[in-house]
Structure 1
Amino acid sequence: MGVLKSRKKLILITILVIVLIGAAGFIYYVSDYYPADSYALAALNSAESYTVSNTPDFITFTPNTPKNSTGIIIYPGGKVQAESYSIIASKLAENGYITVIVRMPFNLAFFGSEKANTVIDNHPEISSWVMMGHSLGGVFASDYAVNHPEKIRGVIYLASYPSANASNATFKALSLRGSRDNLTQPEDISKNLDKFPKNTLFTTIEGGNHYNFGNYGTQSGDNNSTISREEQQNQTLKAILEFLKTL
């Protein structure tokens, strides 16, 4: 009997140690994230053409004179601070589109894939929505659109691709990738080509890379771009605005 109790105690201690090691590893992993740079933080201020609302869950850029009934929801890349996308969000707001960046738990869209529901519920004045996601954020933005086709009219993949099959989706899609992206490579797109919505426009930004879609410095494993971050984002904005006109 004493031997049995000792074995049970040893098993419980072993399980506890494994759980503690796993928890410590997770905390270390999520604490090592890409923070927004000074340009992104400066863009969090309201301007003449739009107002910024910054809450623990969302960063909302609302045009002071709305021109469109379409709104845009942004899911950040994995381990990237939400503020990193404030510049592209501010430019969209300048063009009359309410744009909401979703803050993800632990900076991972995996833990907040359904948060777009709250955004949509909070803005009944918007009649149609477009999901936009960078890298890992694009995967879960796509998943949300597939699971809620009645709510979403378009998906914008920034250096990303669907993991769940979206080929039968009714929404339109835009895929943007930098030619020097070393994290989302051409074979990643081609291997998942049959999962994209049938009505998808594929665009490559020559000289662009992975991390320049946001403002969070450089990213490990990526190639340097041969165009400036500003130029890549200007081309991105132009492509997005053209895409939005087709919805």
Structure 2
Amino acid sequence: MSASKRPRSRARRIVWIVLLSVAGLLVAGILGIVIWSQVGVMGAEAGPLASVREDDRIAVSDTGGNVVMSPSSGESTVGLVFIPGAKVDAESYEAKLAGLVAEDGMTVVITRPWLNLAFFDPRPLSTFTDAAPDVDTWLVGGHSLGGVRACQLAPDADGLVLFASYCANDLSGSGLPVLSISGSEDGLSTPEKIQDARGMLPADAEFVEIPGASHASFGDYGPQAGDGTPTIDDPAMAAEITASVAELLPRL
């Protein structure tokens, strides 16, 4: 081999080594995310979940991979697509949202985000509204990280509800009816963070801060690291959520 060819051969080997190293790091990173997303998933507490499944006013089904709660009467014209927080099971929210179905006649579709993380789920809103084709007016909402994703889907909905969450994208000029429900004891989506992101929402957005509610008060999956200590009980919390959303419905 000539002297001129040896440097080129050496350069090609270096390029291949670099490319293989980068590919290995990418594969390792992807595998790490997948593994992390499946570890420590917060499941639904048995008692609250059973109370929903035993309520004859509510029909619960698994449609297209989503949990769908609808009035047993079959009559529903307004729906809510609800996106869970990071690594929280869909069923963990059934009890807190059950009043919207039983008392207000809404249909609630609780999604199952890819990898248990809403940011990794690129599916459009229609993927979830198709689970209840007879409903013609749709709110989109979510808890924590699920609410951030709901903000991204909001332009395709008739309204937005944030549950202990806030938007990272600007909806201030959207004209959407928006409701933000938060907790005074939330250690994650703190009252300060909710206030700081207020400018991302329309000027007439409604804000409800529930006294004594923590971040985990919006579901039934147990305590959450970094959260505050709630002083409100589960029935009162569910009633506050139901009443708050009901006040938004006339604006749709």
Q: TM-score, normalised by structure 2?
A: 0.87
Query: In the alignment, is residue 110 of structure 1 matched against residue 119 of structure 2?
Result: yes
The equivalent residue for 2:14 is 7
Q: 1:39 to 1:191 in 2, by over 3 A?
A: same
**1:120, CA displacement in angstroms?**
2.4
Q: Secondary structure at the match of 1:14?
A: helix
Q: Distance in 2 between matches of 1:159 and 1:124?
A: 28
| Structure 1 residues 23-102: aligned runs within 5 Å | 23-32=30-39, 33-43=41-51, 45=53, 47-55=55-63, 57-66=65-74, 68-95=76-103, 96-102=105-111
* Over 4 Å off, 4+ runs: none
How many residue pairs match? The answer is 243
Q: Distance in 1 between matches of 2:31 and 2:132?
A: 39
Q: Is the 8 A contact 2:109 2:131 kept in 1?
A: no
Q: Distance in 1 between matches of 2:192 and 2:16?
A: 50
Comparing 43-52 with 190-199, which one deviates more in the overlay? Answer: 43-52
RMSD: 2.1
Q: Secondary structure at the match of 2:222?
A: coil
Q: TM-score, normalised by structure 1?
A: 0.89
C-alpha deviations, 1:58-101, integer Å up to 9, x for none?
Answer: 11112122554111111111221111111123222112111111
C-alpha deviations, 1:119-162, integer Å up to 9, x for none?
Answer: 3234332121111211111111121112x2xxx22211111111
Query: In the alignment, is residue 227 of structure 1 matched against residue 238 of structure 2?
Result: no
Q: Is the 8 A contact 2:138 2:158 kept in 1?
A: yes
**1:46, CA displacement in angstroms?**
6.2
The equivalent residue for 2:3 is none
Q: Distance in 1 between matches of 2:107 and 2:81?
A: 9
The equivalent residue for 1:194 is 199
Q: Distance in 2 between matches of 1:13 and 1:34?
A: 37
Equivalent position amino acid for 2:92 in 1: S
Q: Is the 8 A contact 2:83 2:111 kept in 1?
A: yes
Q: Is the 8 A contact 1:30 1:107 kept in 2?
A: yes
Matched-pair identity in %: 30
Q: Distance in 2 between matches of 1:214 and 1:109?
A: 16
Q: Distance in 2 between matches of 1:72 and 1:24?
A: 33
User: What 5-or-longer segments of structure 2 have no aligned partner?
Assistant: 1-5
Q: 1:214 to 1:69 in 2, by over 3 A?
A: same
Equivalent position amino acid for 1:111 in 2: F
Query: In the alignment, is residue 143 of structure 1 matched against residue 148 of structure 2?
Result: no
